[in-house]
Amino acid sequence: MIIGENQTRLTKTEIAKKLGRSRGSFYYKKILPAKDLLLKESIKKVMSEHPAYGHKRIAMELKLNRKRILRVMKKFDLKPYRRRGRKPNKKDDQNKIPSIYPNIIKHFCPIRPNVVWVADFTYMGLSANKPVSQFGSNIL
């Protein structure tokens, strides 16, 4: 290797000493990327059969460590299919205009407290067919 203006040749041992590395590290070839490519194909095969499987189920299917599966899935950006929650569908509100009540305080600026009071009704889910309060405890 040529370094500097005076064209001095350095051996690999001298270069390794200057870099603070071992000479054998220059010859090291990584084996893991080749293994990861093979594992990626087997993960894709499992995901095509079971699209909703995550890294834990894929690891059980392939009988491998889940951390290794997760690392390869992150490396190659392999993500399982995830079902999204649906918005509540109210049959009474379909094909109707949004609201018949005008917003009378839209351009009103209150100058002191207790001038305007507003209430809002929001959808709250049910837990075991019982209404759930805003704080998560059962009402009835």
Lowest mean pLDDT segment, chosen from 11-20, 26-35, 95-104: 95-104
- The mean per-residue pLDDT over the stretch 69-78 comes to 96
What is the pTM assigned to this prediction?
A: 0.49
For the chain, domain boundaries: 1-30, 33-82
Residue 139: predicted pLDDT: 46
The residue whose two tokens read 């379909």 is 94
Kindly tell me if the per-residue pLDDT of 55 is higher than 90.
yes
- Mean pLDDT estimate for the chain: 83
Residue 134 or residue 52, greater confidence:
52
- The mean per-residue pLDDT over the stretch 35-57 comes to 96
| Number of Cα atoms under 13 Å in the Cβ half of residue 37 | 4
Q: Residue 113 carries which side chain, given as an amino acid letter? A: P
Residue 119 or residue 85, greater confidence:
85
Q: 36-39 contacts: CB < 8 A, separation 24 or more?
A: 36/72, 36/75, 36/76, 39/64, 39/68, 39/69, 39/72
Q: What percentage of residues in the chain have a pLDDT greater than 90?
A: 43
First to last CA, the chain: 82
